[in-house]
Structure 1
Amino acid sequence: MPLREQNKEHLPSDSMRAVVLFLFVCLSVGCLAQSPKQCTSPPLLTGALSVYSQSNNLMAYAKYSYDAWGKRIRLNEFGSYNNKTFHIDALLLYRQGFMYKINRMNRTCTKKLLSMDFHPLAIPQNASLLGQVVVGSSSGPGQGVLVNTWAGEMQLKKGQAKYMSTVTEFGCVPVSTLFHTDKSGWMVTNFFNNVLGLVDPQQLLPPPFCKGARLEREDPESFFSLF
């Protein structure tokens, strides 16, 4: 067999070239990637968050511990409301249906009913995807985070609420949430310094001096009333 014809047999065919080109284009534009799906955040989280509400002149910073399995949340919060500073240390126990407001300086506790059920950190199934972006930069490894933003409405006991939530594509870790009700207007929450797991599990247990606190049944509290 002539040398020219032998080499010709080893050259890629037109169909093979088309397949290689198709795969290259798919990898370039991401057509092999799955579209974002509604998700649930890790069940155990520790971190910090900030809250801002323009209508209520509210600014707050809080450290939090979150346990979706036990339906418990601890908030240690500092902030300003109508130009007055405040500090709230609260342990919300949804399985028991009440919360403790803790004053460590006086070693006292106030025990109140919770007015809302526990809602895990999650993107509801009826949420609509607004878009997927990179926070930071996609120019190099470790310079940005891929996030998804979702929007929707939910029914509360006292009316409807609108929300817009941003979570990481990998892990569904919360980044920010915009929440709107007719009473409070828009409230912006930003999450940061998130750690998977409970850094200090004792934060989700009531202090010993809370043992004798009496349950106050008037004016039930909710997570949002703490801000």
Structure 2
Amino acid sequence: MYAAVTLFVFMCLTATSHADHHHHPCHSPNMTGFMSVMTLKGEVRAHGAFTYDSMGKKLRFRSNESHPVNTSIGLDVLMFFEEGVFYEIDSKNQSCEKKALQCSIHPMDIPDDAKFHCAMNLGNPSIEGEGFKANVWTGDIPGKKGVYSMSVTMGCLPVSTIYFMDSTTILFSILDIENEIKDPDLLVVPSFCQGQPLEETPEGTVNTFYNEFI
């Protein structure tokens, strides 16, 4: 599946297409689902459940501890994109770190300044259930020398996002989406995190959602 999604994006990036200038970035609805993160070298960085509040611009991601991923086991982050802060949560030890969020880009929603690149079909769209159509949006990664490519369904559900950077290339795949927030409490700061002081950001550091996986 990862190979198919990656090939799909690369095909679209290299295809000759005439972008429709009437396309404007859509915005994803509330969502609950699963997300897998891996490099194009095949290194799995994380796999876990997410909850996304599209109106409040809040995102919770918790990696699945039963998944054999050494680098991100136990990762639990709560992002408040409008407030510009996020929490790294350790529920087991009842502790957390509160940090400034310098960049609001993330794989659950198309940035407002994204550029429509193309629409592509996989499979046979003339046969029901045998075709898949998606729009691909691209843009620059703020604070990094790199670009992103995001594919979404016609209904604006994210399918995959690739961040092409100097140091690494990371693929985010979004799976088993449900158009609802199944557990609103996941988007509330845990009681043991409330009142936590904001940590000082080291000079030159740009905190982002995707940086949690680099």
| TM-score scaled by length of structure 2 | 0.73
Aligned to 2:173: 190
Gaps of 5+ in 1: 1-33
Report 1:26-175 matches (<5 A). Answer: 37-54=23-40, 57-78=43-64, 84=71, 86-117=73-104, 121-122=109-110, 127-134=115-122, 136-138=123-125, 140-150=127-137, 152-157=138-143, 159-169=144-154, 171-175=155-159
**Sequence identity, in percent?**
27
CA deviations over 1:61-84 (Å, ceiling 9, x no partner): 121111232121111024777x65
Gaps of 5+ in 2: 1-19
Secondary structure of the 1:209 match is: helix
Aligned length: 188
Q: CA RMSD in A?
A: 2.9
CA distance in 1, matches of 2:121, 2:111: 17
Whose strand proportion is higher, 1 or 2?
1
Secondary structure of the 2:74 match is: strand
- The 1:137–1:40 alpha-carbon spacing in structure 2 relative to 1, beyond 3 Å, is same
2:164 to 180, 183, 208: 180
1:213 to 193, 196, 209: 196
| TM-score scaled by length of structure 1 | 0.70
Secondary structure of the 1:214 match is: coil
Give 1:88 deviation, angstroms.
Answer: 0.7
CA distance in 2, matches of 1:123, 1:109: 28
Secondary structure of the 2:82 match is: coil
Give 1:126 deviation, angstroms.
Answer: 5.4
CA distance in 2, matches of 1:115, 1:109: 19
- The 1:149–1:155 alpha-carbon spacing in structure 2 relative to 1, beyond 3 Å, is closer
CA deviations over 1:71-102 (Å, ceiling 9, x no partner): 21111024777x65532111112233221111
